């Protein structure tokens, strides 16, 4: 299937990257199938730090501004999805759309007259859910808007007309058609370009999402994580903290105040999955898809529970 897809040389391959694992899978797939860099477009749906992987490839730059925020709620023609769609269509070239799951924005994109199909690729725990049946591509099928039901009850993630489901193990995408599953052969291409930055640090503490912790608890959270760790360790901030230099300085000062003078805050260039592919690590943190990848890559994950508002 993959070979047939890449026979067409006049085809764009548009990858929507939402996290670092997603970036690794995209890069490995591109290299395994020898997709021409000129035919690739990378769109970052979040601020992530794996940009170096895509050096030499073209990026789609679409920012959600004030107009798009209004359009998302009231005028579909001015929505963020519409802006992305118009930007892609401005190249007037057929394309395949690669995405983790078919959200409302992606639904607009795959509806483009230039889109010949879409492909799903692994991004984390969601790719292993057994309770996500494929939903129908029939025009008569009506999705329940996410705003009506809670996100946890939303199951319309993968449409039955997907061209491929790209995963890293045989357990990836359990509800996908077997004949349409593509399992990466290895991570050899990624390992050739990724340079580990945490060789001296066996233990990595994973800071929980700021959405689950009030700012007043950030420093306490480090103490809770470090209780099961020996120095030196590296503290990895959740992507939700962003990549602002002041934030990194703030957490470095927390480490010093707590007496962890041999430890560091990871730079935003660190890819934890990449570090585990290079050296065995001990990860300590709240429930995360990294626990799954630690098992796959020969590392250890120690879970420390965090709940918003719960005393530590």
Kindly tell me if the per-residue pLDDT of 307 is higher than 80.
Answer: no
At 118, is the pLDDT very low, low, confident or very high (cuts 50, 70, 90)?
A: very high
126-160 confidence digits (pLDDT tens): 999 998 899 999 989 888 766 665 656 677 899 99
**pLDDT for the residue 144:** 75
Q: Which has the minimum average pLDDT: 47-56, 167-176, 178-187?
A: 47-56
Q: DSSP secondary structure string, the chain?
A: -HHHHTT-SS-EEEEEE-SHHHHHHHHHHHHHTT--GGGEEEEESS--S-GGGGTTSEE------HHHHHHHHS-GGGSHHHHHHHHHHTT---EEEEESS--HHHHHHHTSTTEEEEEEE--SGGGG-SS-PPBP-STT--PPPTTTS-GGG-----BTT-S-EEESSTTSSTTS-GGGEEE---SHHHHHH---S-TT-SEEEEPPPTTTS-GGGHHHHHHHHHTT--SSEEEEPPGGG-S-HHHHHHHHHHHHHTT-TT-EEPPTT--HHHHHHHS--EEEESS-THHHHHHHTT-EEEE----TT---
Distance separating alpha carbons of residues 203 and 200, to the nearest angstrom? 9
Which of the four CATH numbers 2.60.40, 3.40.50, 1.10.3210, 1.10.3470 does domain 2-192 have? Answer: 3.40.50
At 115, is the pLDDT very low, low, confident or very high (cuts 50, 70, 90)?
A: very high
Mean predicted confidence (pLDDT) in 221-244: 87
Query: How much is the pTM?
Result: 0.88
**pLDDT for the residue 244:** 73
Kindly tell me if the per-residue pLDDT of 309 is higher than 50.
Answer: no
Mean predicted confidence (pLDDT) in 89-99: 95
């Amino acid at each position: 299937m993959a070979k047939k897809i890449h026979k067409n040389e006049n085809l764009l391959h548009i990858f929507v990257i939402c996290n670092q694992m997603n970036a690794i899978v995209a890069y490995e797939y591109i290299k395994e199938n020898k997709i021409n860099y000129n035919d690739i477009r990378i769109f970052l749906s979040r601020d992530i730090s794996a940009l170096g992987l895509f050096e030499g490839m073209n990026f789609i730059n679409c920012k959600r501004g004030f107009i798009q925020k209004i359009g998302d709620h009231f005028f579909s023609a001015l929505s963020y999805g519409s802006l992305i769609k118009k930007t892609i269509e401005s190249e007037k070239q057929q394309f395949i759309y690669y995405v983790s799951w078919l959200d409302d924005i992606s639904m607009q994109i795959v509806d483009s007259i230039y889109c010949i199909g879409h492909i799903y690729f692994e991004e984390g725990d969601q790719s292993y859910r057994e309770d996500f049946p494929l939903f129908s591509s029939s025009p008569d099928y009506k999705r329940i808007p996410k705003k009506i039901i809670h996100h946890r009850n939303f199951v319309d993630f993968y449409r039955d007309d997907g061209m491929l489901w790209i995963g890293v193990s045989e357990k990836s995408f359990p509800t996908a058609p077997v004949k349409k599953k593509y399992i990466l052969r290895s991570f050899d291409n990624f390992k050739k370009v990724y340079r580990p930055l945490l060789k001296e640090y066996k233990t990595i503490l994973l800071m929980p999402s700021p959405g689950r912790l009030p700012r007043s608890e950030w420093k306490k959270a480090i103490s809770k994580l470090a209780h099961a760790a020996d120095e030196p360790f590296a503290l990895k901030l959740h992507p939700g903290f962003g990549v602002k230099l002041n934030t990194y300085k703030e957490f470095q000062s927390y480490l010093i105040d707590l007496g962890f003078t041999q430890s560091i805050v990871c730079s935003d260039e660190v890819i934890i999955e990449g570090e585990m592919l290079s050296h065995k690590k001990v990860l300590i943190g709240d429930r995360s898809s990294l626990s799954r990848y630690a098992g796959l890559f020969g590392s250890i994950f120690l879970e420390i529970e965090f709940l918003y508002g719960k005393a530590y």
